[in-house]
Amino acid sequence: MSVNAMTIEDVGTLLDSIHAQVTGTAPLGAVAPGDFISVANSTLQMGTDVVYNAVMNTITKTIFSTRPYSRQFGGLIVDNAKWGGITRKIQFGDTDTFADKAFHNIVDGQSVDHYIVNKGDVLETRYYGSNVYQDVMTVLRDQLLNAFSGPEQLGSFISAKANEVNNKWVQWTEDLIRSQMINTIAAKVGYYDVTFPNQQHVIHLLTEYNSVTGNSYTVTDVMGAQAKPFWEWVRARIRTLQRDFTTRSSMHYLPVFGHRIIRHTPYANQKVYLTAPYMDLMETSTLSEAFHNDMLKYADYEGVAYWQHVSDYDAIKAGSIVIASSGPQTAVEYQTINLTEDHQGFDHIVGVIFDEDMMMVNIKDTIVQNTPMNARGLYFNTWMTAHAQYCTDFTEKCCVLLLD
């Protein structure tokens, strides 16, 4: 059922379900609009408090299953099947080959040991925890009584309330994902690009372009008179980078010392999130047929209107970041780094390309509970609680594109 366009038939079905929940009787059959008010009245006779709880329990199914507001970063949302309470991740590293014993090194009078043991290189990491947040919605008793005066009023009431809460919760999820994306970008640019400069955690597009062409263009140049040749080159660079992701290599991710974990990310498992104004320049500078028929159509490709602040679309600022490092006994340890004031801001972010297992979010254990009617104020409160789990695995491929 859509919260944006609830028809009379939808309202009748909803009310029948509510009436059955309240009275314990079988669901009513289809009713005409003229019969609706009597059904509503009989329902209200059961007690507004009970009816309201039934209404909100039904609304709950709408709030969290439909998305009138289309969130950004929707490709990062996963369910409990992929990301539960505790996720245990097993990774396998490459091992050396063995000397040939079939065509070489065969000696008379000696046997060949074919029971030699090779336990392999195994790395285990685990991800825990969740974050909880709440919201409350107040409905006055007069609103509820008016909502049950006819199908149109009931439809308007439920649609407005459900859509209002739904849009806010969807955007909250989007905002929480932004914080995860900000941490990833800041960690890649502020830590990994400095600590492991040869692993291409960050692609400095303007520096590479000037090196290849022999020019000394600035950001102003490539956003103006030199936009077309530069953004055509950027499109080709992204194409090359996506192909590099598909090959098994030790580039673009955290190396775990003591383990030779080799990664590859097929096109179908790649996510390409680009800053929308830069993406628009790139698309308009490239033949549309060529642009939309390459490997981008296989990836989760999305334009990001802004990363952190709506008025500063290509910049972020992070006071602290969570990074992963190779700890003792070749393990992976996560730690928080506080950034100094001079190193908190990062700008000219063109986009991020990463493996789908590098970042994911699961909104789970959504709970809706209603209070009894306030005897003096004649209103009800509905409290909504949700747990959000965030997974960031820096041992998966990820690369940040900067216009510098």
Q: For residue 142, give Cα distances in angstroms to 20, 139, 145, 159.
A: 23, 8, 5, 17
- Res 188: pLDDT: 92
The pTM of the full predicted model, rounded to 2 decimals, is 0.73
% of residues, the chain, pLDDT over 70: 63
* DSSP assignment letter at 135: E
- The count of C-alpha atoms lying within 13 angstroms of the C-alpha of 391, restricted to the half-sphere facing its C-beta, is 29
351: alpha, beta or left, given left = phi > 0 and alpha = psi -120 to 50?
left
- Res 325: pLDDT: 76
Beta strands 398-402 and 349-355 are: antiparallel
- Res 60: pLDDT: 52
What are the residues whose beta carbons fall under 8 Å from the beta carbon of 310, sequence distance 6 or more?
A: none
In this prediction, the residues of the chain whose per-residue pLDDT falls under 50 are: 1-8, 27-31, 62-67, 86
- Res 332: pLDDT: 72
- Res 241: pLDDT: 94
The amino acid at 359: M
- Res 101: pLDDT: 63
- Res 6: pLDDT: 46
Instruction: Let me know: does 114 contact 102? Beta carbons within 8 Å.
Output: no
- Res 1: pLDDT: 35
